[in-house]
């Protein structure tokens, strides 16, 4: 059985910062993460950004706008269909280790850039909106839309990525669950990042992260553009009435399996 150690008094909230070009938001050991790197790329029409993945795999999640993509010897003349995260399903590009990437903006565009250590090589894979798997999860006022982007269908080494939409006043990641201990067949150890958007953008949500075993117990007010690191613990989210709360979620671990464990104090509501 494997578990990770976390400093209790660490700030896991990374407030929104407006910046053009590439902005690194979380780089281990920030937020006590070991594997996940998270950043945002904002380009104006005609601007270009290039990246070598080296010893990492990389996922490019298009939050809004259109771009032209080159990855190794592959080329996509136009990628991206939605104007913003509340305007439809995502387009994404997955690149294995030792890949090259070039992005040129065809419109003003914004993408999330997520990496994790990897050794597997291969071809880049473009995930189009019609290939995103949409699921209704939960019930009552914890019913939400979960959209799987990079899941078992994509041969990644560590990354699992998707998007969740909370309607006004609704909860998600509920009943509270965690995935911080390695128990084969019961729970898989995965660290996680949440990146939030709110509609309308002046709204807010709440993020709680707690771990009775370690004494971690934090609650954050979430605003449009904020990012949260989740190294361990249960981590429910709530949307304030009147506001839709979206978050892009990315997980990585030694074993690439989605096997969460519900908090036994609250699991009865499921």
Average pLDDT per 10 consecutive residues for the chain, totaling 270 residues? 48 92 95 96 98 98 98 96 97 98 98 98 97 95 96 97 98 96 92 98 98 93 98 97 98 94 86
What is the per-residue pLDDT for 268? 81
Q: Which fold has domain 13-269?
A: Jelly Rolls (2.60.120)
Query: Taking the mean position of all CA atoms in its chain, how far away is CA 270?
Result: 24
Question: Under 8 Å CB-to-CB from 130, ≥6 apart: which residues?
Answer: 89
What is the per-residue pLDDT for 6? 46
H or E element in which residue 104 lies: strand 100-105
What is the per-residue pLDDT for 9? 52
**Helix, strand or coil for residue 141?**
helix
Q: Which residue has the tokens 């939050």?
A: 63
What is this structure's pTM? 0.94
What is the per-residue pLDDT for 159? 98
């Amino acid at each position: 059985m494997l578990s990770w150690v976390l400093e209790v008094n660490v700030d896991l909230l990374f407030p929104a910062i407006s910046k053009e070009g590439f902005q690194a938001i979380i780089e281990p050991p920030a937020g006590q993460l070991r594997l996940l790197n998270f950043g945002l790329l904002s380009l104006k029409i005609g601007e270009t950004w290039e990246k070598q993945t080296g010893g990492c795999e990389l996922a490019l999640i298009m939050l809004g706008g259109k771009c032209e993509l080159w990855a190794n010897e592959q080329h996509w003349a136009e990628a991206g269909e939605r104007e913003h995260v509340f305007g439809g399903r995502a387009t994404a590009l997955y690149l294995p280790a030792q890949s090259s990437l070039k992005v040129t903006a065809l419109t003003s565009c914004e993408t999330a850039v997520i990496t994790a250590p990897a050794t597997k090589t291969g071809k880049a894979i473009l995930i189009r909106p019609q290939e995103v798997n949409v699921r209704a999860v939960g019930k009552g006022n914890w019913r939400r839309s979960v959209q799987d982007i990079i899941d078992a269908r994509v041969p990644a080494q560590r990354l699992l990525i998707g998007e969740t939409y909370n309607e006004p006043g609704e909860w998600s990641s509920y009943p509270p669950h965690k995935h911080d201990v390695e128990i084969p067949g019961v729970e898989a150890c995965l660290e996680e990042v949440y990146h939030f958007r709110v509609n309308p953008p002046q709204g807010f949500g709440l993020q709680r992260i707690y771990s009775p075993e370690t004494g971690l117990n934090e609650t954050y007010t979430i605003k449009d553009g904020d990012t949260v690191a989740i190294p361990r613990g249960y981590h429910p989210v709530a949307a304030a009435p009147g506001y839709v709360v979206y978050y892009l979620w990315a997980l990585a671990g030694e074993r690439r399996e989605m096997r969460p464990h519900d908090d036994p104090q609250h699991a009865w509501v499921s």
